[in-house]
Amino acid sequence: MLWRALKHVEKGCYVDVGAQHPVIDSVSKAFYERGWRGVHIEPVPEYARLLRQDRPDETVLEVALSDFEGTLELNVIPETGLSTAVDAYAQRHHTEKGFDCQQIQVPVLTLKSALQPLAGKDVHWLKIDVEGLEGRVLKGWDSQVSRPWVMVIEATIPNSTETDYANWDPILTAANYQIVYFDGLNRFYVAKEHAELAVAFSTPPNVFDDVILTKGSVICRELVTSHQASEHALTAQAEAHVAQAEARVAQAEARVAQAEARVAQAEARVAQAKAHVVQMESQLRDVLNSRSWRITLPLRLAVIELRRIREAIQSGRHSNGLQGLGRSLLQRLGLWVLHQQILERAALAVLDLMPGVRHRLHHIVRAPASASGGAAQESGDLSPRAARIYADLRQAIGARKN
């Protein structure tokens, strides 16, 4: 209602007597956010501290107001707007609501003294909410010196719907103020010299006022509480989902680490296998290049020829075939000996002691390829396979001589 009447005023001035909290149920908060500035009068130390903290560029008087100056005993009811200098009200709050109260001594000024710094300046609205002490506050006001355009005064017994304005309403009437609205808690008065503002109070608050309710409003308190509970539940649910996701990620990372470990093990085994292959290849080269491997070559060849002889025997071939295989074996051995100079000299020395054997072996191994008749005679008793081997040996011997 105040904003509807005074929205045309830019950066106006207000006085809030019994200001209490700077945000929750604050009458001045919306005006402050639109550039207005004023004076807050609040005797409860905790609320005065919050006001200074939230409104560092405004005046906060930590005093009570009455019709005298000095000190008085204030019944502070923590975390409520029910703190009062009326002992009967404090006792009733304790009995009916179970509220505890603490009595403190606070300084007291009159409204005239409190408004002295604003002398000569327009006060566009003044609110008085002092839990039963409204009459005494108005008695300390000088209506000739300070005339707020609009005055808003709590008009019921604290925490009830029972009205209690009969003892101070005549003060406003005598000061040429007109009652223009009662909202069930507060009575709104307009100064006679600003009677044009009365039309703004002709209808109650409605959708055309373009009012935005804030979370600090008592009307929205239950809705805000419900919303906060829903937010907490959703937050807890989201945190649970995040925890589950993190657990799944941790499990996946563990599986990846295990897989990487297995890959590393496999790579290590492959590296070991490759190293073993290289080692085996090196050992094989050493064997192939060794003298013992070369010396034992005729033995290996003999084994091969003996296997062929065994196969011939098992296949039932005639003795001429066996004789041919024997000749082939002797020729292969002879050729190998001829390629090994040391063994050749040793073999010839032995054969010198056996002239007959030497002649026979010489005839078999070194027979010239051109002596076709002798060759034919020597090979006539061989099997076709042995004859081919024999012919190959003779050709090889002939090539060596040339």
- CATH code (residue 132): 3.40.50.150
120 and 234, same domain (yes or no): no
- Residues 6 or more apart whose Cβ sits within 8 Å of residue 195: 178
Residue 228, CA distances (Å) to 215, 220, 234, 236 in order: 11, 12, 10, 12
Among residues 167, 185, 211, which one ends one of the domains?
211
Provide the 8-state DSSP code for 62.
Answer: -
Residue 376: the pLDDT is 44
On whether the pTM is more than 0.75, the answer is: no
Which residues span the domain enclosing 303?
294-401
Q: Identify the CA nearest to 42 among candidates 225, 26, 156.
A: 26
Structure tokens at 218: 């008592």
21 and 122, same domain (yes or no): yes
* Number of independent structural domains in the chain: 3
192 and 224, same domain (yes or no): no
Q: Supply the angle between the helices 384-401 and 319-339 in degrees, to the nearest 10.
A: 20
Residue 373: the pLDDT is 43
What is the rounded distance in angstroms from the CA atom of residue 380 to the CA atom of residue 351?
26
362 and 385, same domain (yes or no): yes
Residue 318: the pLDDT is 47
Residue 6: the pLDDT is 93
Residue 366: the pLDDT is 54
Residue 107, CA distances (Å) to 39, 63, 272, 285 in order: 17, 5, 93, 111
Residue 223: the pLDDT is 74
Per the CB < 8 A criterion, the answer to whether 128 and 20 are in contact is no
18 and 55, same domain (yes or no): yes
Among residues 176, 211, 246, which one ends one of the domains?
211
157 and 69, same domain (yes or no): yes
Q: Identify the CA nearest to 83 among candidates 57, 102, 68, 65.
A: 102
272 and 354, same domain (yes or no): no
Among residues 273, 289, 305, which one ends one of the domains?
289
Residue numbers in the chain where pLDDT is lower than 50: 318-319, 368-379
Residue 389: the pLDDT is 59
Per the CB < 8 A criterion, the answer to whether 84 and 75 are in contact is yes
Residue 378: the pLDDT is 47
280 and 298, same domain (yes or no): no
